[in-house]
Chain A
Amino acid sequence: MSEPEGRGAAWTEERTVSEPEGRGAAWTEEPSVSEPEGRGAAWTEERGTSDEGRRRLKRAPEASGEQSTSDEGRRRLKSAPEASGEQSTSDEGRRRSEGGTGRWAGPRQASGEQSTSDEGWRRSEGGMGRRAGPRRRAGDTVLRAEHVSVEYAGQRPTRAVRDVTIELRRGEVLGIAGESGCGKSTLAYALTRMLRPPARLTGGAITFFPADAPPVDVMELDGEELRAFRWNKISMVFQSAMNALNPVSSLAKQFDDIFEAHRQEMDRPARRARARELLDMVGIDPARINGFAHELSGGMRQRVMIAMALALEPEIVIMDEPTTALDVVVQREILDEIERLREELGFSVVFITHDLSLLLEISDRLAVMYAGEIVEQAPSEAVGTAPAHPYTLGLLRSFPDMRSARRELRGVPGIPPDLRDRWAGCPFEPRCEYRFEPCATTHPALRPPASRLLVEDPALVGGWRVACHLHDQQYRLEGPPDELAGARRDEADGAASMDGSAADRKATADSPVTADRAGGEQ
């Protein structure tokens, strides 16, 4: 046992105290959703006890004498047959899953924060009956980051990520969009706990829900546990694959590094065979295994990076701008490859890029970040057709559409705020063309948008959130302007969608904007 008894308890206390209201709800659901009766009862007994009780809960695995370290515990759970944890029939099985949940969910449970408003929407998102026990299905939550904040230390600390809450579901692609410096990459590093000073996680909780083991509090992982967690469970495809490979060692050596660190039981032939298999999987000739990075093209290097990220069959792959340096054709190949592998292997992807048009295509849900905050979070279809936040609309308008009519294009004028500053209102307020009175003084919270699209398709309600006062009845009774209220984008821009047919082209040529433009060009 690596950590002393006392420390664990101290941690627990600290965290319980510092947790914001409303967080507990997520946790309380945990056992209640699919737990057997007996277990629930066990919890009630424990609930609301003193610090001592909490400590007992936290150390439950140890007390039961079953699991000496959580890592071992997880491994054991993993190796245990599916059935054992599914509905704990045997005493042993129950104790085991109890131990697991006790360790992770217990402290929060004990803190006694029960029903809050948060609970409602979590439920409403549906399809995520999380189970403390094994066998999670597609659609379950696989990673949840709540109220995560990251600071870069300095005279005036740079608050790069501000109170971000995201949830990644099993098998989905979650896109994170935003311009450079908005905290996208920092968030990715935070999720994997890879931040190094001067960056510091200043708050929040990150929970990983493995497919076949109890939830893991990523924030509490340390030392060997953390090392084993990374790449095994969450791996990452780094920005600029061009430089992420080691130029002086062969690909085989670099694959070996992964297996030596994480799969000590594999011998050389097994490692070699697995590396070849991985290369083949991403469409690279396995004979290249002894080659070096400089012998590969940019796209091939990116494929190798993906193969490495998948080497240990992680449940989550974080892709930080994986295609930014590549041209469109290669980018398309890589995206196809990612989609194919995801279908085959079923991992979840956090896909980070500034290219919103790409994200709309590849991701199931996406979050738009601005100045370290999430300003809109929605199913991709919703964002693509009817963005609710002015910034999202601005981003979408920054991409000329390749096939539809030429229209006037504007970016988002202005520059993002200095992340060292503090502001009372909305971070986007200085650049926003829709700003009105409360924007400068009141910080907007994420809320369901007042969008016509929600009426047409209520299924979207679950996940769609926007941080904008325009959607707040309290400030704006009449609701947001048309282009943010669910009018289809093409309607709102006054340009007919066209498919390259002559009739359409003629029609659009008559619109003032296009005529003006055409006049200038021809």
Chain B
Amino acid sequence: MSVLDVRNLTVEFGQRGGSKLRAVDDMSFALRAGQTLALVGESGSGKSTVVRALAQLVKRTSGEILLDGAPAGRRGKALRGYRHRVQLVFQDPFASLNPMHTVRHHLIRPLQLRPHHPRGDDLEAAVHELLLSVNLTPPDEIARKHPHELSGGQRQRVAIARALATDPDVLLADEPVSMLDVSIRLEILNLLDRLKQDRNLAMLYVTHDLATARHFSSEIMVMYRGEIVEHGPSDEVILRPSHPYTQILAGAAPDPTVSRQALTTARRKRQQARATRDAERREVTVDASGCRFRSRCPFAMDICATHPPDLPVAAGHLARCWLLSSEAEPAGAGTEIGQPRRQAGR
């Protein structure tokens, strides 16, 4: 059962000179209770804009957001009601907490926004409960502290507790661990994972780290320049990427298990491929129509000038690439598709 349904979401930003920048282009997906959907992509691909549009921090140009089947309120009381149920954890815990306020203050404010909110001792108890739910102990002591007295991991826990204060159904986590130290990233991710299960949250996990995306989500969406190029079960997408972009992403992630010799060969190959592509790229000017990835795509062909449809790879696994279409027989390149990763990706 999907909690949050996103249909044809489009976000445009005005630019100098009148033309519009389309940051998010016609995206549709659904978040389900108790499940995590990962949104991966390079910087500038529009991941954060999606999150902001879902939290209604930026206005969507068109498209619909349905919360439990009902259209999301866009202003006033309806918007506030929506925000109670859809909460956001920001990337930078150093910036997302107010340095002037104590932890208690950060948690009490959202608690007091609830209708019939607890008061007095009940309020304190609610704060303690929130702190305990994110493993911040002892709660008394933590509640009295200011953000600067906490480590990055503790701050992010406070930010998570704050997001939980309104008892949301949907949690949008925008790169929740990228600013944290490696050794504590997993604790935070495990915490989010546990909370998701305990509270039956529908979670959107935005990241550029494919490995954690695979481990902490059931489905992965890969975003490239504002559109979803591949969407499917996480193992499918990572282990058998179908879109050339996903293949490049998967191939680019460091993999300590590969031998050094394999690395060197892979590197040589990449460098050659890059050299020829660079030469070609100078000729091609990318226009708005057609596949956005084609200027970087190792398998680009004529048909790519036409915008590709979503094509099925396997059950629940879609990729937006002409290579998967029977209409387009690529010259020699098609054989690589469908084979798991590296050969093509690296």
- Please list the residues of chain A having a beta carbon within 8 angstroms of any beta carbon in chain B: 179-180, 283, 298, 326-333, 336, 339-340, 354-358, 360-361, 381, 384, 394-404, 406, 409-413, 415, 497, 499-500, 505, 520-522
Chain B residues near A400 (CB-CB < 8 A): 186, 211-212, 214-215
Q: A403-B239, A497-B257 are in contact. Are A179 and B215 (CB under 8 A)?
A: no
Contact between chains at A521 and B35 (CB < 8 Å): yes
- Please list the residues of chain B having a beta carbon within 8 angstroms of any beta carbon in chain A: 34-36, 42-43, 151, 153, 181-187, 189-190, 193, 197, 208-212, 214-215, 217-218, 235, 238-240, 248-258, 260, 263, 267, 270-271, 274, 278, 340-341
B253 CB to closest chain A CB (Å) equals: 5
Contact between chains at A500 and B240 (CB < 8 Å): yes
Contact between chains at B256 and A361 (CB < 8 Å): yes
Contact between chains at B271 and A336 (CB < 8 Å): yes
Chain A residues near B235 (CB-CB < 8 A): 505
Contact between chains at A409 and B254 (CB < 8 Å): no
- 10 CB contacts below 8 A, A to B, read A180-B181, A330-B42, A336-B267, A357-B256, A361-B255, A397-B186, A404-B257, A406-B215, A411-B182, A413-B187
Chain A residues near B208 (CB-CB < 8 A): 327-328
Q: A298-B43, A354-B182, A409-B186 are in contact. Are A361 and B263 (CB under 8 A)?
A: yes
Which of A327, A358, A406, A497 meets B42, CB within 8 Å? A327
Q: A336-B271, A357-B255 are in contact. Are A410 and B186 (CB under 8 A)?
A: yes
Chain B residues near A336 (CB-CB < 8 A): 267, 270-271
Which of B36, B42, B185 meets A521, CB within 8 Å? B36
Given contacts A395-B182, A415-B151, 12 further A-B contacts (CB under 8 A): A326-B43, A327-B208, A328-B42, A332-B251, A354-B181, A354-B182, A355-B254, A396-B256, A399-B256, A401-B211, A401-B256, A497-B257
Q: A298-B43, A400-B212, A403-B255 are in contact. Are A410 and B271 (CB under 8 A)?
A: no
Chain B residues near A283 (CB-CB < 8 A): 278
Chain B residues near A497 (CB-CB < 8 A): 257
User: CB-nearest residue of chain B relative to A399?
Assistant: B211
Most central of A329, A331, A410, A413 by chain B CB within 10 Å: A329
B241 CB to closest chain A CB (Å) equals: 10
Contact between chains at B42 and A355 (CB < 8 Å): no
Q: In the complex, A396 Cα to B186 Cα: how many Å?
A: 11
Chain B residues near A354 (CB-CB < 8 A): 181-182
Chain B residues near A505 (CB-CB < 8 A): 235
Contact between chains at A328 and B252 (CB < 8 Å): yes
User: CB-nearest residue of chain A relative to B252?
Assistant: A332
Contact between chains at B197 and A402 (CB < 8 Å): no
Chain A residues near B250 (CB-CB < 8 A): 402
Nearest 3 CB-CB pairs, A to B? Answer: A411-B186, A332-B252, A412-B183
Chain B residues near A410 (CB-CB < 8 A): 186-187, 190
Contact between chains at B183 and A339 (CB < 8 Å): no
Contact between chains at A329 and B187 (CB < 8 Å): no
Contact between chains at B252 and A398 (CB < 8 Å): no
Most central of B208, B215, B260, B267 by chain A CB within 10 Å: B215
B143 CB to closest chain A CB (Å) equals: 19
User: CB-nearest residue of chain B relative to A360?
Assistant: B256
Contact between chains at B182 and A179 (CB < 8 Å): yes
Contact between chains at A409 and B190 (CB < 8 Å): yes
Chain B residues near A179 (CB-CB < 8 A): 181-183
Which of B248, B249, B254, B341 meets A358, CB within 8 Å? B254
Chain B residues near A413 (CB-CB < 8 A): 187
B1 CB to closest chain A CB (Å) equals: 14
Contact between chains at A361 and B211 (CB < 8 Å): no
Chain A residues near B42 (CB-CB < 8 A): 327-330
Q: In the complex, A340 Cα to B209 Cα: how many Å?
A: 25
Most central of B36, B43, B218, B257 by chain A CB within 10 Å: B257
Q: In the complex, A413 Cα to B184 Cα: how many Å?
A: 7
Contact between chains at B239 and A500 (CB < 8 Å): yes
Chain A residues near B184 (CB-CB < 8 A): 411-412, 415
A450 CB to closest chain B CB (Å) equals: 23
A294 CB to closest chain B CB (Å) equals: 15
Which of A356, A402, A411 meets B255, CB within 8 Å? A402
User: CB-nearest residue of chain B relative to A340?
Assistant: B271
Contact between chains at B249 and A355 (CB < 8 Å): no
Q: In the complex, A411 Cα to B156 Cα: how many Å?
A: 15
B285 CB to closest chain A CB (Å) equals: 16
Q: In the complex, A406 Cα to B249 Cα: how many Å?
A: 19
B64 CB to closest chain A CB (Å) equals: 27
Q: In the complex, A369 Cα to B255 Cα: how many Å?
A: 21
Q: In the complex, A410 Cα to B182 Cα: how many Å?
A: 11
Chain B residues near A522 (CB-CB < 8 A): 218
Contact between chains at B43 and A357 (CB < 8 Å): no
User: CB-nearest residue of chain B relative to A326?
Assistant: B43
Contact between chains at B183 and A520 (CB < 8 Å): no
Q: In the complex, A361 Cα to B208 Cα: how many Å?
A: 19
A344 CB to closest chain B CB (Å) equals: 12
Q: A330-B42, A409-B215 are in contact. Are A398 and B183 (CB under 8 A)?
A: yes
Contact between chains at B240 and A331 (CB < 8 Å): no
Q: In the complex, A520 Cα to B215 Cα: how many Å?
A: 12
Chain B residues near A500 (CB-CB < 8 A): 239-240, 340-341
Q: A327-B42, A401-B211 are in contact. Are A395 and B183 (CB under 8 A)?
A: yes
Chain B residues near A409 (CB-CB < 8 A): 186, 189-190, 215
Chain A residues near B153 (CB-CB < 8 A): 415
Chain A residues near B274 (CB-CB < 8 A): 333
Contact between chains at B271 and A402 (CB < 8 Å): no
Most central of A332, A333, A399, A411 by chain B CB within 10 Å: A411
Q: In the complex, A500 Cα to B193 Cα: how many Å?
A: 24
Most central of A331, A500, A505 by chain B CB within 10 Å: A500
User: CB-nearest residue of chain A relative to B154?
Assistant: A415
Q: In the complex, A340 Cα to B208 Cα: how many Å?
A: 26
B155 CB to closest chain A CB (Å) equals: 12
Contact between chains at A339 and B218 (CB < 8 Å): no
Q: In the complex, A166 Cα to B106 Cα: how many Å?
A: 45
User: CB-nearest residue of chain A relative to B239?
Assistant: A500
Q: In the complex, A149 Cα to B211 Cα: how many Å?
A: 37
Contact between chains at B211 and A360 (CB < 8 Å): no
Chain A residues near B240 (CB-CB < 8 A): 500
B71 CB to closest chain A CB (Å) equals: 29
B244 CB to closest chain A CB (Å) equals: 12
Chain A residues near B257 (CB-CB < 8 A): 384, 401, 403-404, 497
Q: In the complex, A323 Cα to B33 Cα: how many Å?
A: 36
Chain A residues near B278 (CB-CB < 8 A): 283
B259 CB to closest chain A CB (Å) equals: 9
Contact between chains at B181 and A361 (CB < 8 Å): no
Contact between chains at A329 and B35 (CB < 8 Å): no
A337 CB to closest chain B CB (Å) equals: 9
Chain A residues near B197 (CB-CB < 8 A): 520
Contact between chains at A402 and B210 (CB < 8 Å): yes
Q: In the complex, A283 Cα to B275 Cα: how many Å?
A: 9
Q: In the complex, A77 Cα to B215 Cα: how many Å?
A: 57
Contact between chains at A399 and B182 (CB < 8 Å): yes
Chain B residues near A358 (CB-CB < 8 A): 254
Q: In the complex, A499 Cα to B341 Cα: how many Å?
A: 10
Q: A328-B253, A415-B151 are in contact. Are A355 and B182 (CB under 8 A)?
A: yes
Contact between chains at A328 and B190 (CB < 8 Å): no
B304 CB to closest chain A CB (Å) equals: 19
Most central of A381, A398, A400, A402 by chain B CB within 10 Å: A402
Chain A residues near B186 (CB-CB < 8 A): 397-398, 400, 409-411
Q: In the complex, A397 Cα to B183 Cα: how many Å?
A: 9
